A and B are shown apart, each in its own frame.
Chain A
Amino acid sequence: MTLRFDRLGPYLPFLLNGIWPVIILSLVAAFFGCVIGFIAALAKRRGGAIGKIFGAYIDFFRGTPAFVQLYFVHMALPQILKFNWPGWLSCVIVFSLNSGAYLAEVMRAGIEGIDRGQIEAAKALGVKSKDITRDIIVPQALRKILPAMFNEFIALTKETSIVSVVGMMDLMRRSSIIQGTLYITFEPLLVVLVVYYLLNKILSFCGKCLERKLKYD
């Protein structure tokens, strides 16, 4: 059989515009994921009832598939809450919470990897705990966990390919529309694969640059 990229041609802009939901959702979810993850990491470290709650959250979101989580939030929850929210909101909620759970564990490991002695030295100098967290713990932990964080960002970006189930017009959804219209499968899906691949190449390049920038040894 022959490949008909020429037939795909006119639809290419339509297909490629699907990159925006992927990028925007990934960025927003990565941002909220970092915030949630940081809070969850600190809470879990502190322990107590709140620590346990955050621990359960982390455990749950890491222990169930994002695909099912998304379905659940978009289809099942509105049934109870008697309130329908748009697909993009479901996506933001699920992917933020999902990546937050993974990032929490990454961040917790980073924080625990900081030598206690430095924290004691800062305390002994009279530095306040919020300054210790911000100036001593975070910069060093960040440096250590950067590769693992970018791993998570890449996983997140790829994971967003399921959002068509709640009606988002992402790359996958657009490629299925083209498949249905033109009766070609290989060509649009190949383009989708290449776009995801390039997107993550750029992401990991950014990670490497940032790592180099934060280097101090």
Chain B
Amino acid sequence: MIKVEHLYKDYAEDIKVLHDVNFTFEDGKTYAIIGSSGGGKSTFIRCLNMLEVPTSGTITLDGTVVNDPKTDLTKIREKMGMVFQNFNLFEHMVAKKNVAYALMKVKGMEKEQAYEKAVEMLEKVGLGHRVNSYPHQLSGGEKQRVAIARALAMEPEILLCDEPTSALDPEMTTEVLKVLKSLSHTGLTMIVVTHEMAFAREVADYILYMDQGEITECSTPAEFFTNAKTERARQFVANML
């Protein structure tokens, strides 16, 4: 369970990105965070694993305050996998090493075991034939699936996805969303920032609508897409569909 209380993030005196965000993510649920660009979606999800340091407020993961300077971030990040818009694969490592690296460095697995697990994870995302390819030899969709395998190999409790398909063409988007869909409701908590409305509607348990640095609404997809609570959200839905 991730509990977010009074979260603020300012980049400067007059650039306030998050404004008093309060929310509790329940275990095992899938959340889609949607909203117009500049609404603070990415900043919010990046605060959850401290890639962005909040200005004030608290984020608590299973009782541990994530943004307490005394907290061992390594432990927190082990529990939270992350998938990025631009994949962020390690360019100098082949696919299986991309996946195996953190298993060895963070989980302390033996090399052989780590690579075995890496290959297994890559097979799970349909890339069993690509284990020895470098990132630059892979398509965008393949890169993102390697990135997903890399995050999942760590066996996180939570998977954060920051616009995982925004850099992909429609065909590759489909293959990546298929993988993400298969992960939902498997016990993994998923928090996905996305512009894919169909995915949000089909897969998410809850839609979080963010606007001007606040979560203005949390509804089930059925509620959100037929009768959103705020005028701006209704307009957003109308524009997207």
> Residues of A at under 8 Å CB distance from B?
115, 117-118, 120-128, 131, 135-136, 139-140, 143, 216-217
Contacts and interface: CB of A to CB of B under 8 A. Distances in A.
12 contacts: A118-B90, A121-B82, A121-B89, A123-B51, A124-B160, A125-B81, A125-B101, A125-B151, A126-B77, A128-B74, A140-B92, A217-B91
B1 interface: no
Contacts of A139: 92
A139 B84 CA distance: 22
A209 B217 CA distance: 59
Interface string B81-125: 110101111111000000001100110000000000000000000
Given A118-B88, A118-B89, A126 B75 contact: yes
Given A121-B82, A216-B134, A217-B134, A127 B106 contact: yes
A122 B160 CA distance: 14
B6 interface: no
A31 B12 CA distance: 43
Contacts of A126: 73-78, 102, 106, 154
A104 B240 CA distance: 50
Interface of B: 49, 51, 73-78, 80-82, 84, 86-92, 101-102, 105-106, 134, 136, 147, 150-151, 154, 160
B136 A124 contact: no
A136 B49 contact: no
Given A115-B91, A136-B90, 9 more contacts: A117-B86, A124-B49, A124-B51, A124-B80, A125-B150, A126-B74, A135-B101, A139-B92, A140-B91
B136 A217 contact: yes
Contact of B84 (A117, A127, A143): A117
Interface of A is mostly: helix
Nearest to B94: A216
Given A117-B88, A135-B101, A125 B77 contact: yes
Nearest to B46: A120
Interface of B is mostly: mixed
A139 B97 CA distance: 14
A168 B150 CA distance: 56
Contacts of B134: 216-217
Contacts of A131: 105
Contacts of B51: 120, 123-124
Contacts of A140: 91-92
A127 B74 CA distance: 7
Given A127-B102, A127-B105, A122 B90 contact: yes
Contacts of A127: 101-102, 105-106
Contacts of A128: 74, 105
A7 to B, nearest CB: 56
B77 A124 contact: yes
Contacts of A143: 92
- Among B81, B89, B90, B147, the most chain A Cβ lie within 10 Å of the Cβ of B90
Contact of B82 (A124, A216, A217): A124
Contacts of B106: 125-127
Nearest to A140: B92
- Among A115, A122, A139, A143, the most chain B Cβ lie within 10 Å of the Cβ of A122
A77 to B, nearest CB: 43
A125 B102 contact: yes
